Amino acid sequence: MSSSEIGEDKCLCWAAKDPSGLLSPHTITRRSITSDDVSVDITHCGVCYADVIWTRNKHGDSKYPLIPGHEIAGIVSKVGSNVHRFKVGDHVGVGTYVNSCRECDYCNQGQEVSCVKGQVFTFNAIDYDGSVTKGGYSSHIVVHERYCYKIPVDYPLESAAPLLCAGITVYAPMVRHHMNQPGKSLGVIGLGGLGHMAVKFGKAFGLKVTVFSTSISKKEEALNLLGAEKFVISSDHDQMKALEKSLDFIVDTASGDHAFDPYMSLLKIAGTYALVGFPSEIKISPANLNLGMRMLVGSVTGGTKMTQEMLDFCAAHKIYPNIEVIPIQKINEALERVVKKDIKYRFVIDIKNSLK
């Protein structure tokens, strides 16, 4: 249902009304488009653990009614008079943020994710006009063209959605820290929505990939479905010991608390360890860093420039996330399954065919 069919700015959505996080149908008003805006009819929205965190007020800052969703794919329905990058009918994506100051050095370099004043998140954030942002579990979204991405027309919209958070979160540090050198070796910790994308990018970059997991049940998928060279149970001391000083890079997608030293010792001299998950603390023996001349780096998603580059890379290399498409009516059940890690590897909501 296009935005014009439900009244200019009326927007159907599913919202959490309180910290129970239970989502139910709701209606909001989106702003009318200004000269630099694009209105996007949302066809698909990926489900991220962030949706669980904020619908359930885990950080104590949730603003209800809260409409989650920051892996958005859809079709342009309207463009403002100043918009030159997009036209009606274009396939586009919207990611984890929808605004930034557009004046600082980072914004000027296309790294809006690091905006000095802070990027404005796609949902549950206060935008520059004072409004609270509402995410992609909705029929349409209005966004400044700068924070919109072209999705190549032959790339499926349902596959594009998870790239806007899970995909870019691992792609950005991999490219930034030169983890795209064929023949090098990569370790991936955790095989969820982010981890499986790190494996896919590693393979596309020509790396030899080792997957680390606490669950033997992931072995088959890691090796046969995703094409990793090795699979290691991280609690197996002997398996870990055998890999000491063998990896050039590690991407750590695990958000649960875990020991860092056992993984750090797997890096070669001057290897790079990129953390993209959010454990509650990091404990590392300084000797592991200093004697190994190793680097521990952190990362969140990516700027607009790199996000577009990643979408084009995925289309060119036919890289598709492994997804389970659901109707919006199954979202509460899906969020429970996300909490239980019962998903391979990303839920995507079919907004177009189920949000009525």
Q: Which residues contact 45 (CB under 8 A, 6 or more apart)?
A: 69, 71, 72, 73, 135, 136, 137, 161, 348, 349, 351
Q: How confident is the model at residue 5, as a pLDDT?
A: 40
CB atoms within 10 A of CB 282: 12
Backbone angles phi, psi at 55, to 5 degrees: -65, -30
Q: How confident is the model at residue 20, as a pLDDT?
A: 96
What torsion do the CA atoms of 87, 13, 327, 88 make, to the nearest 10 degrees?
-10
Q: How confident is the model at residue 8, as a pLDDT?
A: 59
**Spatial CA neighbour of 199 closest among 214, 215, 217, 179:** 179
- Low-confidence residues in the chain, pLDDT < 50: 1-7
72/47 Cα distance (integer angstroms): 10
98/120 Cα distance (integer angstroms): 6
Tokens read off for 295: 């680097």
